[in-house]
């Protein structure tokens, strides 16, 4: 199986975050890391989804990211492809299903976001995984989405230590 590619000093120069639809978790991680890159850092940061269907980033996500200084209003979803996986030095999965998909489809073992950022072997769950009937309680659903964005935003700078 392939592993993440790194330089001899253990650093990476391109990062790809992967979730399901590329409209919530991976987008948040992408914008959170981009916001922390200093001017001199040459790092390509992107995101993609294993099942990216045409849909826009939800207003809750756009609003919360805007509060943090990131504008995701022009984000375009990307379907995860072999080319994207192969071109990234570090691929980071948001959930176990994303890890499994990447391993099965592309033969590459990748870490979870929480593993690389926090040292925890835990996925970041999507809204529908936590609240299958989330539409019945939109306020609780919005609170969950915002809490996930806060966690990702706070943890993403840990990846900087892996970048050259």
Q: What is the pLDDT along the chain (164 residues), one digit of tens a residue?
A: 344 444 334 456 899 999 999 999 999 999 999 999 877 777 899 999 999 888 888 999 999 999 999 999 889 899 999 999 999 999 999 999 999 999 999 999 999 999 999 999 999 999 999 999 999 999 999 999 999 999 999 999 999 887 76
Helices 25-36 and 59-67, axial angle in degrees (round to 10):
20
Are 34 and 45 a contacting pair, CB within 8 Å? yes
Q: What per-residue confidence (pLDDT) applies to 149?
A: 97
In a domain, 22, yes or no: yes
Q: CA neighbours within 13 Å on the CB side: how many for 107?
A: 4
Q: Give the domain CATH number at 58.
A: 3.40.50.2300
The pLDDT value given to residue 12: 62
Q: Quick one: tokens of 156?
A: 């993403």
Beta bridge partners of 92: 17
| Cα(20)–Cα(22) distance, integer angstroms | 6
Domain hosting 112: range is 14-162
Domains held by the chain: number: 1
Residue 9 inside a domain? The answer is no
Of the chain, the end-to-end C-alpha distance in Å amounts to 25
In a domain, 1, yes or no: no
CB atoms within 10 A of CB 11: 15
In a domain, 131, yes or no: yes
Query: Of 30, 33, 11, whose CA–CA distance to 19 is shortest?
Result: 30
Q: Tell me, yes or no, whether 113 lies in a domain.
A: yes
Residue 99 has what pLDDT? Answer: 97
Is residue 5 assigned to a domain? Answer: no
């Amino acid at each position: 199986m392939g592993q993440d590619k790194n330089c001899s000093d253990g650093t990476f120069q391109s990062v790809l975050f992967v979730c399901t639809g590329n409209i919530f978790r991976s987008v948040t991680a992408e914008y959170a890391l981009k916001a922390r890159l200093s001017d001199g850092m040459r790092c390509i940061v992107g995101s993609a989804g294993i099942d990216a269907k045409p849909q826009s980033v939800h207003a809750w996500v756009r609003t919360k990211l805007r509060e943090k200084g990131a504008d995701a209003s022009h984000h375009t979803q990307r379907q995860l492809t072999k080319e994207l996986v192969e071109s990234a030095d570090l691929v980071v999965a948001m959930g176990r299903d994303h890890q499994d998909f990447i391993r099965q489809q592309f033969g590459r073992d990748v870490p979870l976001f929480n593993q690389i950022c926090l040292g925890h072997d835990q996925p970041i769950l999507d809204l529908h995984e936590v609240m299958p009937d989330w539409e019945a309680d939109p306020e609780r659903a919005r609170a969950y989405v915002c809490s996930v964005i806060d966690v990702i935003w706070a943890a993403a700078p840990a990846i900087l230590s892996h970048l050259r």
